[in-house]
């Protein structure tokens, strides 16, 4: 069986990650904030939508769910009880869901929101992590209904995945996040190279994702809070009480809010 993973673009910078079973022409979508781009893609490629997975309750992630159920009445909805949809399968940390026999573990990764989930899908030994708005390439989500402490712990948890894990954030924020990272850590060569590549890709309308966790450890300042260069960069921009990892993480998020 071959599962293809494809981003469907929505709004200005959202990605609706789509799992496609090439054998039976079925599809699963994650966080469909809009219905029309999904319905159009299904029609264009002769696909049947069989399941929707959600990571959190924000409208740009669930806004198309109800309409897609009208287009595809047999669609199975997988969501947390606080995601604001009528789910067929209620998930929580430790749940598992299936994609044509491949298992996805559900992780609770709060911070951006209090009930933010990730799906860690294993396809023939390769892990694919659909992390919504918790982790972006070179960045992290804003704190809304969660806490900065939760977001920090969620990053620690995600950082425990294997190096080669592919991460699938739900927004195209890569280039801007890298610009912020270079404002903190201007000497980071990997970040400089990643920004040049991201700017070229986005100018061409291409997706900068997915990225490996190994790559993120080199370019994401929120995963680099114990690096002297990151600590020094934060201290040039604001006064901090100590150099604990959570302090640096919170300071970075505060600085990014105003970047």
CATH code for the domain in which residue 7 is found: 3.60.15.10
Question: Which residue is associated with the tokens 């947390």?
Answer: 80
- Structure token digits, residue 44: 């264009």
Last residue of a domain, one of 73, 90, 107: 90
Percent with pLDDT over 90 in the chain: 99
Assess whether 46 and 23 both reside in one domain.
Answer: yes
- At 3, phi and psi to the nearest 5? -105, 120
pLDDT, one tens digit per residue, over 160-203 is: 999 999 999 999 999 999 999 999 999 999 999 999 999 999 99
Task: Show the domain range for 188.
Answer: 93-259
- List CB contacts of 211: < 8 A, sequence separation 6 or more: 137, 166, 167
Assess whether 124 and 69 both reside in one domain.
Answer: no
Last residue of a domain, one of 90, 118, 136: 90
Residue 226, pLDDT score: 97
Euclidean distance between CA atoms 250 and 222, whole angstroms: 9
pTM of the model as a whole: 0.97
Do β-strands 102-108 and 117-123 pair in parallel, antiparallel, or remain unpaired?
antiparallel
CB 190 within 8 A of CB 212: no
Residue 2, pLDDT score: 85
Assess whether 107 and 136 both reside in one domain.
Answer: yes
Euclidean distance between CA atoms 252 and 140, whole angstroms: 10
Q: How many domains does the chain have?
A: 2
Residue 253, pLDDT score: 98
Q: Which residues of 35-59 are buried (b: 16+ CB within 10 A; e: fewer)?
A: bebbbebbeeeebebbbbbbbbbbe
pLDDT, one tens digit per residue, over 101-139 is: 999 999 999 999 999 999 999 999 999 999 999 999 999
Assess whether 85 and 135 both reside in one domain.
Answer: no
Residue 147 has pLDDT above 70, yes or no: yes
Candidates 138, 140, 117, 115; CA nearest to 129 is 117
Residue 99, pLDDT score: 97
Euclidean distance between CA atoms 187 and 18, whole angstroms: 36
Mean pLDDT in residue range 221-241: 97
Assess whether 85 and 176 both reside in one domain.
Answer: no
Percent with pLDDT over 70 in the chain: 100
DSSP 3-state assignment of 104? strand
Euclidean distance between CA atoms 113 and 61, whole angstroms: 12
Question: Which residue is associated with the tokens 């319905």?
Answer: 39
Cα angle 110, 158, 27; round to 5: 85
CB 28 within 8 A of CB 53: yes
Assess whether 154 and 126 both reside in one domain.
Answer: yes
Euclidean distance between CA atoms 105 and 128, whole angstroms: 10
What is the overall mean pLDDT for the chain?
A: 97
- Structure token digits, residue 15: 């990605």
CB 154 within 8 A of CB 134: yes
Last residue of a domain, one of 56, 74, 90: 90
Assess whether 163 and 86 both reside in one domain.
Answer: no
Residue 1 has pLDDT above 80, yes or no: no
Assess whether 64 and 102 both reside in one domain.
Answer: no
């Amino acid at each position: 069986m071959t599962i293809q993973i494809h981003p469907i673009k929505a709004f200005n910078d959202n990605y609706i990650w789509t799992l496609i079973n090439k054998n039976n022409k079925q599809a699963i979508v994650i966080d469909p904030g809009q219905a029309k781009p999904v319905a159009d893609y299904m029609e264009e490629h002769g696909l049947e939508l069989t399941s929707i997975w959600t990571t959190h309750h924000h409208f740009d992630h669930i806004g198309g769910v109800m309409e897609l159920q009208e287009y595809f009445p047999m669609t199975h909805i997988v969501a947390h009880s606080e995601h604001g949809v009528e789910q067929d399968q209620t998930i929580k940390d430790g749940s598992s869901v299936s994609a044509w026999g491949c298992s996805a573990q559900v992780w609770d990764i709060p911070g951006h929101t209090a009930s933010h989930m990730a799906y860690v899908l294993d396809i023939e030994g390769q892990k694919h992590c659909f992390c919504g708005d918790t982790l972006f390439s070179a960045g992290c989500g804003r704190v809304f209904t969660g806490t900065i402490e939760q977001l920090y712990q969620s990053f620690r948890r995600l950082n425990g995945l294997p190096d080669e894990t592919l991460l699938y954030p739900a927004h195209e924020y890569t280039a801007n996040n890298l610009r912020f990272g270079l404002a903190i850590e201007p000497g980071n060569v990997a970040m400089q190279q990643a920004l040049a590549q991201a700017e070229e890709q986005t100018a061409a309308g291409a997706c900068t994702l997915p990225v490996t966790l190994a790559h993120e450890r080199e370019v994401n300042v929120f995963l680099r809070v114990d690096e002297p260069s990151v600590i020094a960069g934060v201290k040039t921009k604001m006064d901090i009480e100590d150099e604990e990892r959570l302090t640096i993480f919170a300071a970075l998020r505060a600085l990014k809010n105003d970047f």
